[in-house]
Structures are given as C-alpha cells and as structure tokens.
Copies of this chain bind each other. A is one copy, B any other.
Amino acid sequence: MSAPIPDLPVLAEDDSMLSRRFGREVANYFSGSPLNRVSFLRTDYGFLASAFAHASASFLLVDQNLSPLARDPANLAWVGTDDVAPLTGPAPFARSEKEQVAAYNSEVARPLILFLGLDGTGDTSKTGTGAGGFEYRGYKGSPFFAVDVTPKGSLADAANSVVERAKAKGFTFLPGARHVNLNAPEAAIYAQARALLDWNARNPYCGACSHATMSVNAGTKRVCPPTDWAGVTVVGDGSSEPKAEPRARPDCPTRHGVSNLSFPRTDPTVIMAIVSADGARLLLGRQRRFPPGWYSTLAGFLEPGESIEEAVRRETWEESGVAVGRVVLHSSQPWPYPANLMIGAVGQALPGGETIDLGHDQELEAARWFPLDEVREALLTGVSGLGEPAPAGYKEGGLRLPPQTAIANRLIDAVCSGYLSAVPKI
C-alpha cells in the first residue's frame, strides 16, 4: 500500500511449501536487531571480559538524556575499547557477579556498561567499528556494547573525557524525543540500549527493601547486595593481614529465589485497528495534541490479569464506547519510551456496538468511523511524522495518519491491504 521504510527488516521468503502458505511476518520499526543477544553469556564474566577487550568491540555512547552518539540523524556512531577505557577502566568485567556483590560499596560509583550482543549478520561493514574475528566457545560475531556517559559523581571527569574524545571525531549526541530517523537495524540496537539504560537509571533502589541496588551481568540485572563496605575502615596493626567485615544490610525478599524486581521491566501495551461489524469502516481516534486532521488507532496499557484480547476490548470501549467482539493478534513492536511493548491487534465491532461514546475515560478528543476508501487515500497522501508537515499531494481537510515507523500505520495498512479477507495468515 505505502512505500517501504529503507532497511526495514523483512524476513526473507524461503522456498518451503509451508512457508509460502504462511504469508509474510510483519516486522515493525525498532525490531529486527542484527545482534544475537546470547543472553546466557551475560553471566559468563570470562566471555564479557574478552568481548570487551577485543579489537572488534563496538561501543555506543548514550548521554544523560538517553541520546545516542551518532554520525548523523540516520546513523549511530560507534567507538572502540580505547575510547571508553578512561571511564570504564581497562577491564570492567574482571570480577564475577559473586565477587562484585561481595565487594559492594554503596559510596563507590560504577560505570554502567551494557552488553548488547554479537553481530549475527556476519556483515560488519555497515554497523559497528568494522573489525571482525571475535570468537568465544564457538560463538562468533563482533561484540556490541553501550556505555552510559552521564557525568555522575566521581565518574564525572572520566565521562566527560570520553564524551570529548568522541566529539573530537565529529560525532554528536542525537537529540529528540523519538529517534525514528535512524536506519532500522541501528534503531533496533538503540531501542535495546535505551530501554536497559533507562531501567537501570529509574531503579537505583530496591522496591522490596528500600536499599540501593547494584547493576550486574552487563546491565541486565540489578541485585540487592546483603552487605555494604561503605564507611568500613580497614585497619591493620602490621602484625597480620588487616581484618574487616562489610556492614550487613537487612534481609531482602529479592535474595530468596528469583524476583522479577531484579530484571528489566517491559510494559505491554495494546494497539488496535478496529473494523466495523461489516468490515467496511475503520475506527480511529485523535488526542488533543494531534495536528488538525490527524487520527490514529486506539491504544492503552494492558492490566494485570488481563489477556491481550481482553485489553483490546476494554481499552476500545473505555476510549470510544465501541463494543468489540473478536480480536486477532497481528504483530508487535518494541517502543523504548520508556519501556513499552506495543502489541498490535485487529478487532471487529459487535453488530449494534458501533455507537461512539467519548464519555467513559474522556481520553480522546474525537473518534470516528472512516470508510476504508478514505483511509486508503490517506495512506497515499496523508502519512507523515507527528511533528512534520503533511506530504506533497495532501489536500487540506483530509485525513492524516502516523508514519510507517509506527505500528499504528502498519495495522491500518494491513486492514486496507486485505488482512481481513480470506487470505491465510499462516
């Protein structure tokens, strides 16, 4: 229906009969990372240490506003181990999780270094430093990291020096509330880095016991250490090894078994293209902050003890008064502002349930049923970024829609392109 986004990940068709029956998976912007996260290696500090030190390691710098270092608005900038060492030190992964926890001192600031993954494409020419040759236990691919360069506490000078060194190469931190102009593979890498850095920054304390937590496993876990060396003075009398014990902290529930509080949070969000009972019209709504003529699909947070399908029905009714029957899941999109998982669905209004009522939660300024022909026209002439002018060919007063980087656009496009017709989806 509408033009593809450059470099948007599309799974290759393959030749199996079954696959041709499947149809194509929809891949949304901020997904499609070229990295293999090898999540099981994050606890292997031998791996982390050798990946960090390797000549092919690529580091993304992210500042206190969560802006990434970039060459230009479409491309991230990558630096090497030497560039980050003034902040990270030469061997930040020398100690295991257990050793780090035992040495925990709440008064000592530690740099945050995320391990993102190994390049799984085999093509290092487009992303990263361009070097290759890393291998560990048979796992190959250039290692990718992100480093928080927020100038905090005793690390401020070191962080600033890393920033200055990067800027001297002509790179800048990419401002903006949404980074939707990045090429798609790097947007996916940035989404991972942003979500994890933000989670670490938002959660310095333990929700279960109130004490400060520490980041381990290359930024993917926060633990509540049982002891703290802060304020403990180690004094020896010369006759033997100096002895001291760290201060014990109160017991904490997160130290017993596995607690979700130790792991990153992702907020599931439903977003839905709702068609009328006869399938001929599409329900769209607008918020007050939207430009004139602009509409999008409805959306909202999923709640505890609720399926995606139920959340779609609840949110649609609460926002628009429309009663939805069947709901089918379409595709998903990570949205790292701050930690959303957008789950796209298509639903069908119940016969007799199409009357619009904005009086329930009063979140929308307007909601309307649009004939599919009008929506198809808008996909051709009314699509642009939220802050951007309408595209050429747009007629004043016409419907405007979100860009292709938003899953809303992909859902609308799917409905207009025959998703509801009797074509198999799998």
Contacts and interface: CB of A to CB of B under 8 A. Distances in A.
A419 to B, nearest CB: 7
A305 B334 contact: yes
> How many copies of this kind of chain does the complex include?
2
A361 to B, nearest CB: 4
A205 B209 contact: yes
B332 A329 contact: yes
B212 A37 contact: no
B192 A203 contact: no
B16 A307 contact: no
A289 to B, nearest CB: 14
Interface of A: 11, 14-19, 21-22, 24-25, 27-28, 30-33, 36-40, 188, 191-196, 199, 202-212, 253, 259-261, 263-268, 275, 277-279, 301-310, 314, 318, 325-334, 336, 338-339, 341, 343, 346, 348, 350-351, 360-362, 419-426
B39 A314 contact: yes
Contact of A330 (B25, B37, B193, B329): B329
Instruction: Among A192, A210, A267, A306, find the residue whose CB has the most chain B CB atoms closer than 10 A.
Output: A306
A304 B208 contact: no
Contact of A16 (B24, B208, B278, B360): B278
A374 to B, nearest CB: 19
Contacts of A16: 277-278, 348, 351
Given A18-B279, A38-B318, A329-B343, 11 more contacts: A21-B420, A25-B326, A30-B305, A31-B306, A188-B305, A210-B210, A210-B211, A260-B267, A260-B338, A264-B304, A307-B333
Of the listed residues A19, A308, A310, A361, the one surrounded by the most CB atoms of chain B closer than 10 A to its CB is: A308
Nearest to A362: B40
Contacts of A302: 266, 341
Given A14-B325, A16-B277, A207-B203, A332 B309 contact: yes
A304 B301 CA distance: 16
A348 B22 contact: yes
A304 B32 contact: no
A50 to B, nearest CB: 18
Contacts of A360: 38, 40
Nearest to A40: B361
Contacts of A253: 202
B318 A39 contact: yes
Contact of A419 (B306, B314, B361, B426): B426
Nearest to A190: B305
Contacts of A30: 305, 307
A195 B304 contact: yes
22 contacts: A15-B351, A16-B351, A19-B348, A22-B348, A25-B326, A27-B309, A36-B314, A39-B318, A192-B303, A192-B306, A202-B261, A203-B208, A210-B211, A260-B339, A264-B303, A304-B339, A328-B426, A329-B330, A343-B343, A346-B426, A421-B424, A422-B424
Contacts of A423: 424
